[in-house]
């Protein structure tokens, strides 16, 4: 967890997202955030493919309760396309946005949430 209360999953070097990886990241997030609801940033600059089951994982009731929102960071055509497809076919119960930079994602969190990032500003 960063100083501003955002759980950051750095997926640099990961080209394929699997259900197993997402479950592992969720378990780590629960541990790091001590079971509290928090914003999540996913640095996904190298992601090219995503298993369908990852979308199903996005609806897991445990995930819904513990997620303020997800900022996906990556500027490649593929991450833009994957994010757009995800939002078109699956509407999670929390906001999801894609950003070119981490800084833009943090501004979005501050505008939308009462996370530590906003309280410290």
Task: For residues 84-111, give the mean pLDDT.
Answer: 89
- CA–CA distance, 73 with 11 (Å, rounded to integer): 10
Indicate yes or no: pTM above 0.75: yes
Higher pLDDT: 19 or 86? It is 19
24-33, 42-51, 71-80, 81-90: the lowest-pLDDT one: 81-90
Architecture in CATH for domain 7-119: 2-Layer Sandwich (3.30)
Looking at the DSSP bridge assignments, the partners of residue 97 are: 71
Taking 60 as the threshold, does the pLDDT of residue 117 lie above it?
A: no
- Domain borders along the chain are 7-119
Looking at the DSSP bridge assignments, the partners of residue 98 are: 72
Confidence class of residue 114 from pLDDT cuts 50, 70 and 90? Answer: low
- CA–CA distance, 24 with 95 (Å, rounded to integer): 21
- CA–CA distance, 29 with 8 (Å, rounded to integer): 9
pLDDT of residue 104: 96
The answer to whether the beta carbons of residues 94 and 62 sit under 8 Å apart is no
CA dihedral (47, 52, 54, 58) positive or negative? positive
The answer to whether the beta carbons of residues 69 and 39 sit under 8 Å apart is yes
Task: For residues 72-95, give the mean pLDDT.
Answer: 88
Taking 70 as the threshold, does the pLDDT of residue 121 lie above it?
A: no
């Amino acid at each position: 967890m960063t100083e501003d209360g955002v759980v950051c999953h750095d997926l640099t070097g990961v080209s394929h997202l699997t259900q197993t990886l997402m479950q592992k990241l969720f378990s780590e997030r629960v541990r790091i955030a001590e079971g509290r609801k928090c914003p999540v940033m996913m640095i996904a600059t190298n992601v090219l493919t995503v298993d369908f089951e990852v979308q199903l994982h996005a609806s897991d009731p445990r995930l819904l309760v513990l997620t303020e929102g997800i900022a996906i960071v990556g500027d490649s055509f593929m991450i833009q396309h994957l994010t757009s497809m995800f939002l078109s076919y699956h509407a999670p119960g929390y906001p999801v946005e894609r950003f070119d930079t981490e800084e833009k994602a943090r501004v979005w969190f501050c505008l939308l949430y009462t996370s530590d990032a906003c309280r410290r500003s």
